[in-house]
Chain A
Amino acid sequence: MSDQSIDYDVEFRAITKRFGSLVAVNGVSLKVRKGEFLSLLGPSGCGKTTSLRMIAGFEQPDEGELLIGGSDAVGIPPYRRDVNTVFQQYALFPHMSILDNVCYGLKQRKVSRRERRAKAGEALELVQLTGRDSHRPAMLSGGQQQRVALARALVMNPRVLLLDEPLGALDLKLRKEMQIELKRIQDQVGITFIYVTHDQEEALSMSDRVAVMSNGVIEQLDTPRAIYDHPLTAFVADFIGDMNFLEGRVAESADGGYAIDAGEGVVVRGRGHPAGAAIVRVGIRPERIVVERGNGSGTANSARCEVLTKMYLGDQVQLILRLANGSEFVVREQRTSAAPAIDSLEPGDTATARWDEAAPLLMADLQPQKDGE
């Protein structure tokens, strides 16, 4: 064991987990830093929950090494691990009071009655749920049960706290509140959080780093900002936020810039260096595109298009456009002014979509990142 392992609370070394013929986690390597808020993000079936359950000890890896706090954790049962879980459906003990639920773990550790009551009280205060000590879980609302589940795990002061889609069962407004709460609590207690979610907004807003998973591998592991601004693969680009894709032949590549001919006069000029392939794919975020009425000049980064649909998203107006080459684009504009320019466009109108050179992101369908750090 090298000394540097101590800087990581959890370490996956080429872990594979199979269920029958299904490979749930495929050779994943991952290092979780001390005290960070790391999200495992991906669609259902991507292996994120299985990864979490392996850290918790409910599943054992078939191949590879798992280190918790620098020491080998393979084969160690859940009740001997210094990690605690906040379950998706809370899994509160229905036959115990709220206080007994929170005290349960300390009781297993043979902590004295007085001490565990004091600690449980502190934990319930931390999650802002006091005065319900003698209630049964069924008497609380979903949001309150969520807080009890959190307190029950936090009171153990674990090395790592695992959260398995803890906000999935809450309604939107409560979910937003709890996101802020969770972030505050994590700052306050300084415990490493590993957070599993399929909600990209949740992952981006709370995490220090996000691991985007798909088909049992980590596609990209980086800060939320880097994941959004520089997605490495088309999957990440598409899964995180919306992305408009264009594909074409590289017409020109020099001095850190390139031009791609996407057909029918649609030319994309961007920064970067398209690697190798003659046909490449670029992605452009909807908010980086400006739409103007009328038939603009056919220069690079400016495409003639037809408005297909217009939708109001409350704070934004969204258009679906069809470009001259047949690609469909999603474009959004904030309604910061009373009458945004985009609002004058109606389905059927002809318009011009423009973007700047920094907007197009080169999509390299890279091999998934093998080393997680």
Chain B
Amino acid sequence: MPSAGTPRRSRHRFGKRMFTGWAVLVYLVLYLPIVVVVIFAFNQPTSVPQGASPCSVDPSRMGNVTVWNGGTTCWFHTALNDPTYVPAVKTSFWIAFRASLIATVLGTAAALSLARMKKRWRVPFDVLVYLTLVVPEIVIAVASLIFFVQAHNNLSIFPTLGESTILLGQIVFSASLVMLIVRARFVGMGSSLEEASFDLGGGPIATFRQVTLPRLLPAVIAGALLSFTFSFDDYVLPAFTNGTVNTWPIVVYSAVRFGVTPAVNALATVMLVVTVTLILITGLVLRRSGASDLTGAPPPTIP
């Protein structure tokens, strides 16, 4: 039967195309909004007075900036010279950097010790860790605010509301996040490699440095990146605990109230370009060092 396979094969090919189409659709839904943000960074106000720069228009007279009115690049200049925008981004970046660094160290250490702990001790800690992730952020934010104010009132060395309190609040959440990610990989890794290292004369520190950490690195980096992202665009917690400090999300939210200009889009575009570049560089470095498998599965054995 020479023709028997043909209809089945063509149906198979059709199915494959459907899957590809679906994947393309999913990616469109995910990334189209970002593309729109970038495009509208070059948008003009609805009406620009004769002879004036499109970006000198008062935000309240901007008109409908969600409609394309023609292109300009002046928003990038405006955004980078705005008295609040760039400092706010710098503050957010600096907080996120420290938060992710500290949370990664704490979370990794917690993951290693919890994974080896007796169940009787591990379970209560686990519950606490999950609590910080499931309790709504607004609840944690209110609780943090009360705690920080009371703590400062009763203990003068405790910092006033500001960068430090934003940092403290975010570390609690991020450390839990890092711990979950790192522990999953650590448990999946098993203890045989560490035993092999001990067997070959590697002490606890040498083993951690040469065997455990390199094997955990993908999870540690993933945890650090996630904490950074969480911290950078977090609004709720800083809105309660910021004192007088303005983070980037806080500035954007308040800008929305007075009418948002494409300058926000322009700054977002700059940040997007920087972030994507950083991720690409990280990926390249990781591939070079051979730690790019984020799955945590043991390497396949060729029979």
Q: A residues bordering B, Cβ < 8 Å? A: 56-58, 77-80, 83-85, 87, 89, 91-95, 104-105, 108-109, 136-142, 145, 152-153, 156, 171
Given contacts A78-B195, A89-B192, A108-B206, contact A94 B200 (CB under 8 A): no
Given contacts A91-B192, A136-B290, A140-B302, 7 further A-B contacts (CB under 8 A): A79-B201, A79-B203, A104-B200, A141-B303, A142-B302, A152-B200, A153-B199
A108 touches B299 (CB 8 A): no
Are the C-beta atoms of B299 and A91 separated by less than 8 Å? no
Q: Are A84 and B200 in contact (CB under 8 A)?
A: yes
Q: Are B206 and A91 in contact (CB under 8 A)?
A: no
How many residues of chain B are within 8 Å of chain A by beta carbon? 24
Which residues in B have their C-beta under 8 angstroms from that of A57?
Answer: 198
* Contact between B198 and A78, CB atoms less than 8 A apart: yes
Instruction: Report the Cα distance A228→B199, complex, angstroms.
Output: 34
Assess the B303–A142 pair: CB atoms within 8 A: yes
Total A-B residue contacts, Cβ distance less than 8 Å: 77
Q: CB within 8 A of B199: which of A78, A92, A94, A136?
A: A78
Assess whether B201 is in contact with A93, with CB atoms less than 8 Å apart: no
In the bound complex, do residue A105 and residue B200 qualify as a contact, i.e. CB atoms below 8 Å apart? yes
Residues of A within 8 A of B290 (CB): 95, 136
Asked if B300 is at the interface of the complex by the 8 Å CB criterion, the answer is: yes
- Which chain B residues border A156 with CB–CB below 8 Å? 200-201
Contacts of A109 in B (CB 8 A): 201
| Residues of B171-206 whose CB lies within 8 A of A | 192-193, 195-203, 206
Contacts of B298 in A (CB 8 A): 94
Interface residues of B (CB under 8 A from A): 192-193, 195-203, 206, 210-211, 214-215, 290-291, 298-303
- Residue pairs across A and B with Cβ atoms less than 8 A apart, 12 shown, are A57-B198, A78-B198, A83-B199, A84-B199, A87-B192, A87-B195, A95-B291, A104-B200, A105-B202, A108-B203, A138-B299, A156-B200
Whether B299 and A137, one on each chain, are in contact in the complex, defined by CB atoms closer than 8 angstroms, is yes
Q: Which residues of B contact A138 (CB under 8 A)?
A: 299-302
Q: Which residues of A contact B198 (CB under 8 A)?
A: 57-58, 77-79
Specify which chain B residues have a CB less than 8 angstroms from the CB of A89 in the assembled complex: 192
The A interface, classified by DSSP as helix, strand, loop or mixed, is mixed
A79–B193 alpha-carbon span in the complex (Å): 13
A163 to chain B, nearest CB (A): 12
* Cα A93 to Cα B290 with chains together (Å): 13
Please pick, from B195, B201, B301, the residue contacting A108 in the complex, using a CB distance under 8 A.
B201
Query: Considering the chains assembled together, what is the distance between the CA atoms of A109 and B197 in angstroms?
Result: 12
* Chain B residues within an 8 Å CB radius of A87: 192, 195-196
Q: Assuming A91-B192, A138-B299, A139-B302, is B200 touching A56 (CB within 8 A)?
A: no
In the bound complex, do residue B300 and residue A93 qualify as a contact, i.e. CB atoms below 8 Å apart?
no
Report chain B residues within 8 Å CB of A141: 301-303
- B121 to chain A minimum Cβ distance, whole angstroms, is 17
In the complex the two chains form, is A85's CB within 8 Å of B199's CB? yes
Question: How many angstroms from the CA of A92 to the CA of B197 in the assembled complex?
Answer: 9
Given contacts A84-B200, A93-B211, A95-B291, contact A145 B206 (CB under 8 A): no
| Contact across chains for A79 and B202 when beta carbons are under 8 A apart | yes
Are B193 and A93 interface neighbours, CB within 8 A? yes
Q: How far is the CA of A105 from the CA of B201 in the complex (A)?
A: 6
Q: A83 — which chain B residues lie within 8 A by C-beta?
A: 199
Residue contact B196 to A142, C-beta cutoff 8 Å: no
Which residues of A lie under 8 Å from residue B197 when comparing CB positions?
93, 104
Instruction: Report the Cα distance A109→B301, complex, angstroms.
Output: 30
Whole-angstrom distance between the alpha carbons of A109 and B200 in the complex? 9
Contacts of B202 in A (CB 8 A): 79, 104-105, 108
Per the bound structure, the CA–CA distance linking A140 and B290 in Å amounts to 17
A147 to chain B, nearest CB (A): 14
Residue of B nearest to A82 (CB): B201
The 9 A-B residue pairs with the shortest CB-CB distance, nearest first, are A138-B299, A105-B200, A108-B201, A91-B196, A78-B198, A91-B192, A108-B202, A85-B199, A79-B198
Chain B hits for A153, CB < 8 A: 199-200
